[in-house]
A and B are shown apart, each in its own frame.
Chain A
Amino acid sequence: MSEHRGVILVIGPALSGATSVANALRQRRGGCRVVECLGPGERPAAVVFVVSAAAPMTQSQIALLDAAAASTDAVVAAVAKIDVHRGWPQVLEENRALAASPALSWVGVAADPHIGPSKLEPLIAALDSALARDRRSPRNQLLPNKSHAQSRIRDRERAVAFRELRVARVQLTGQARATCASMRADLRRDAAGLSRRGVDEFCSGVRRRSARAVAELDATLSRLVDDLDIAGIDIPWIDTPGIDGAPESCPALETYLPRFGRVRADRVTALLSAGFGLGVALTFGRLLADLAPDWTAAITAASLLAGIGLSGWVIRARGLAAERAALDRWVTEVTAGLRTAMEERVVMQVLAAETAMAAEATAGRNASCRIRPGDDRP
């Protein structure tokens, strides 16, 4: 800290007279180190910002002044070359009005005069009082801008956030995949043991489960976005259409239910079942009729009834098996679609976050480039 006490940074746009002011200050204030460019990691005790008295400041010069004032508390602005520019008091007043900080002290200097004696006393007095004020209350009252240290911290935070985002993307994609796989296994097992009456309930159950899986993913994603928002990055929430409430993204249920478009299969099943029933009735009827020839009429009627009943049962069993197979296929399709949708959602949200962070980083870098001292030189 004691090293910082001695460094006075003299800064100004090209041809503003900053070098002359620095040389004059170097002669007049032997105890201080007067520099025009800071070394790496150096922090000035005071900054003297020099502009020419030829004309009021331009926007780029105002930005340079802001950058200089952000790094320290003690800033003195000097209007140089007042020996040749007679209108310097007006220029000084206009500069004072243009500068963002009304507390900034402005002085006129003639450090290397072409006409008359040099005039440096007001600058030295202002510098002393600024240093004294800084010592009393070491806090930047001029401009509470972000300093270099803050921007460094911000850079680090940003890098950490980028890494977290990448990890989150991998984790969330894996989570979506695992959720869908376990859901598919469960639902296929359920579908295999389903009765005809339970089909509708099973279908609405599938819808409920996929909606719940999407809601869980959304909750995780919004937690992630909130975490990044805390780090100061504004991330837009991407609403991917067709995911909310998942069923829209599920394939239409009716496509896979065996109730439609299977008239021919039904007929074949009915024919085969009837043949089977008739065969069973004939075989049993003849066997029983041979054993008890007296009851032939009753036995024939009973075996016919048994054959018809058997045919009905086979038809029903065959229908149920077909429906279960269709539901199995449907469950596979639904979970595959859900997995794709969830992965897309994760990727879109992470991409939006990365874009927002990159935009913010670029804006920050541009701002720091714009206000870098010496940038004014054409």
Chain B
Amino acid sequence: MPQHPHAALLGAGAAVLDDSALHRLTADLSAPVRVAVTGRAGAGRGMVRRALRGAGALLADPGEPSDVDVYVFVETLTSDDVALLAGVDRPTVAVLNKADLTCFRGAGPVAVAAARCQELQRRTGVPTRPLAALLAVAASRDTAGQRSLIDALRTVGANPARLAPGMRHRLLAELDLFGTAIAAAAVGRGADTPALAALLHQASGISAVLEEIDRAAAPIRYRRLIGALARLADAAVGPRGARVAEFLAGDAVALARMAAAMNVVGAAATTVDPAGAAATTVDPAGAAATTVDPVGGCATHLRRAVRWRHYAQGPVSALHRRCGTDISRGALRLWLQAGGVVEAMP
């Protein structure tokens, strides 16, 4: 699992300070979020579990508390699904499984499923993504399995009648109709094992689901960072405390908190308004928040600081109030870096 940016920041601090406590906090921060898979019976929860595991997600064991829930459904949300999704208390991502079987006309199954997901997300307010778990599992298979698949797919492309019944069943079980069709076409164009895996991975929509899980986990990561910094503040006393205190008060920590807070408010804005939310709530310069704008940045940062200060004072939840404060503080640091001058109040 790669280090999360926040963890990388603390890691850099740990390297400078050479503090074992900081190293431990870094490890805590880079721990992946635990995902639990729930959903409608018969919707393919087991296959989604395998697909997520194959794509590198950490799945919570049964009985273990999870950080993010994945709710699996098929075709559309029934009233039972809507009632369940309305009552969740953890960050949840809804997954429309069997997206490869949605519709074989028009723009194709995945596009139709994606449009349907967007509509469902607009209605429920829960981030919803299409997924063909079967294809994701096929994409994460080892090379030997892929090679025998490619042989069978070549036969399908050349002469389907010559395909052995066992192999036909295997193709249907592992790729199903849509998967077989796109894979056979790709193999016909001369795709090799990695190319086929990449194609199946891309067609399955698993990366969008993982992104959405990551986005849904933003509040958890933010809380982890805040918790880690609070624990670190305990170490800011004693003989070596001055350096830790200096690190905590430094620009790096303020900007890391700002970045984490940006992720939280960005995720919330995307869920409420999927289309073009990033442009409205999180300002365009938000992505480059941790770097200093060379030209004209000064006024932008100050404006941003003022706006997020107002946001934090508005009618928002406690989490968003803290996020607003952190963003405002980070923007002020950036403003200072960009040459802003603090004036005394008259």
Contact = CB atoms under 8 A, between A and B. Distances in A.
A59 B80 contact: yes
Contact of A54 (B80, B98, B123): B98
Contact of B78 (A13, A84, A114): A13
B177 A84 contact: yes
Given A15-B75, A378-B77, A56 B172 contact: no
B156 to A, nearest CB: 15
Given A84-B101, A114-B105, A60 B79 contact: yes
B177 A115 contact: yes
B176 A58 contact: no
A168 interface: no
B81 interface: yes
Interface string B102-127: 01110000000000000010011000
Contacts of B41: 55-56
Contact of B42 (A14, A16, A56): A56
A55 B81 CA distance: 13
Nearest to B116: A15
A58 B40 CA distance: 8
A55 B74 contact: yes
B100 to A, nearest CB: 9
A85 B75 CA distance: 12
Given A84-B177, A86-B172, A378-B123, A54 B79 contact: no
Interface residues of A, number: 22
A226 interface: no
Nearest to B101: A84
B80 A114 contact: no
Contacts of B101: 54, 84-85
Given A56-B41, A84-B101, A115-B177, A378 B74 contact: no
Given A54-B98, A55-B42, A114-B103, A60 B123 contact: no
Contacts of A58: 40, 78, 80-81
Contact of B75 (A54, A60, A86, A94): A54
B285 interface: no
Nearest to B77: A378
- Interface centre among A54, A59, A60, by most chain B C-beta atoms within 10 angstroms, is A54
A31 B43 CA distance: 38
A54 B43 CA distance: 7
Given A378-B123, A378-B124, A94 B76 contact: no
Q: Range of interface residues on chain B? A: 20 to 34
B208 interface: no
A186 B132 CA distance: 90
A311 interface: no
A91 B42 CA distance: 8
A376 B79 contact: yes
Nearest to B85: A378
A375 B79 contact: yes
A55 B43 contact: yes
Nearest to A56: B42
Contacts of B177: 84, 115
Contacts of B120: 378
A156 B181 CA distance: 61
B319 interface: no
A335 interface: no
A55 B82 CA distance: 16
B73 to A, nearest CB: 8
Interface in A18-66: 52, 54-56, 58-61
Contacts of A378: 76-79, 81-82, 120, 123-124
B195 to A, nearest CB: 26
A114 B75 contact: no
A217 B42 CA distance: 61
Interface string B157-178: 0000000000000001000110
B75 A52 contact: yes
Contacts of A15: 75-76
Interface string A248-289: 000000000000000000000000000000000000000000
Contacts of A115: 104, 177
Given A54-B74, A54-B75, A94-B42, 5 more contacts: A54-B101, A55-B41, A85-B101, A378-B76, A378-B120
14 contacts: A54-B43, A54-B101, A55-B43, A58-B40, A60-B78, A60-B80, A86-B176, A114-B103, A114-B104, A115-B177, A375-B79, A376-B79, A378-B79, A378-B120
